[in-house]
Structure 1
Amino acid sequence: MAPSTLAITPGLRRKLGEWLQEDLGRGDLSAPALRGQAGVAHWLAKANGVFCGGVLLKPLLSELVGPAGHQVELQLLVCDGAPIAAGDRLLELSGPAEMLVAMERTALNLAMRLSGIATETAALVMELEGSGVLLADTRKTTPGLRELEKYAVRCGGGVNHRMGLDDAAMLKENHLAWAGGVSAAIKAVRAEAPWPSRVIVEAETAEEARAAVASGADGVLLDEFTPAELIGLVPQLRSEAKARLSGSPVVLEASGIQPADLRAYAATGIDLISTSAPMTRSSWLDLSMRFTPVGR
């Protein structure tokens, strides 16, 4: 799998600086014991999984020490998205001991959280191997961490659904009720959204799904349908999409499922499965940082 990429934007740098400051407060009270000392540190995996978070080390160090960031040398031994085993060395750092300790907790916390998400995603993606069905995330992310958590999903082999409400219009139960139905809701959105915008309808019944296709939805999210229900419904929706005036295909997505049922859903002919499991059910992957004082 090709490694995923993460843009280190000014906004992300600002967050990294704030997270470092949260831990440092008015200054590390243990720093005098380290001042003037140099050290070498390495990250060690304490469990099997998929690594994610190495890409954050350089910007974290830059936010910690500013222009003097060259004082710490970083060597990544494992790329984000790579499988790792307990005992593997992931990266090496060398420089002033005071700086290595100052960034340790923030960097490890982020990497353990993201590696846990990547690991859980990879396990789910493995269940879908060979089916052609994609695994997508949801907007159930930790506030402030969405960009990073969705990056971790990509590192685990998944794909990203909407980053936010401005990516696509997803019409759910309340939208449909307030607008007066599927057709009216789609018509209202199409009237104001830029023409490239996609409209997705979350359908809770077969009737809603058919109405969404007939009304020109770009995608239909089939919520909490069983595999048995979808086996008959999916071909019907495909046929109805071909017959509509636009002739454009419709993306069919299953959601509200149990991860244990992934294979059964993949066999129904849907295009993708969206799940919050990588965010809400994953555990942090255990990583640690080990130090060796220079000259000892």
Structure 2
Amino acid sequence: MNVKQPVIVIVGPTAVGKTKTGIELAKRLNGEIISGDSVQVYRGMDIGSAKVREDETEGIPHHLIDIQEPDEEMSVARFQTLARAAIDDIAARGKLPIIVGGTGLYIRSVLYDYQFTEQAEDKELRAELERFAAEAGVDALHDRLAHLSPERAAQIHPNNVQRVIRAIEVASSGMEQTQASEPTSHYDSLIFVLHMEDRDQLYERIDLRVDQMMEEGLLDEVETLVSRGYAETKAMQAIGYKELVPVVRGQADLSEASDALKRNTRRFAKRQLTWFRHQFDGVWVEMGRLSFEQNFKKIYDRVAGFLNQG
């Protein structure tokens, strides 16, 4: 009998408590953490991606952080390969792999048996999408992308029609399930979706997080990245960076950019939760009503039972 490797997964929108939850689990269960975030892979993109600082890790190793430069594009297929290699390495050393992050498409590609093919242009689909954009408008086209991939939609402005169309092509044909109906699980995974039922509470935490990022020097971080020639890279289209590049260039007001960053992050959090609800068969944990300690106990007890059942 082929026994699958146990993997614990912590997903959820920004500012909901994923990082702390993952570290506490790793401390108690001899685990190591794999970042499931599409921006934390880039060196120098620290504050805007809420990358865990060295003094916050409490000695827990973190993988897939700072592994490439911002002008080196990360694909879903490459992330799948790297994450699975990290899981194998962690498990081989007798430790528990714990994936923590908010990039649902990346994490799902790791957990399930997806195969990737070369992205040839689909001229028929492209023509159909161009007609759709002309008839229904660019916002409707962007909504179509958001339905397929909230992460990609959050990185591309609706007015950039060609990039939106290309992203829809990739999202539509770039990831093929090995099974036509239900995807096959690559691991014995237990997924927790952290959330807050009170949206106002979550949005307040997001706004506070953005204010904290600004105080910690996010604008300086963006300025450094721009000075190194990364302003036009795909990585810099991520929320937290694209809003501040115009400020660095003297083309926008800092206060307005900060407000836009908060607004975009709130919208992204909403899309993330919708995506998790439809794409992950996970245990939903409401983080807003009880203390962190109380919520963590529920998660820990569930994980302990899951690991002991084998």
The normalised TM-score by structure 2 is: 0.26
Higher helix share: 2
Of the two structures, which has the highest relative contact order with CA contacts closer than 8 Å and spacing of 6 or more? 2
The normalised TM-score by structure 1 is: 0.26
Higher strand share: 1
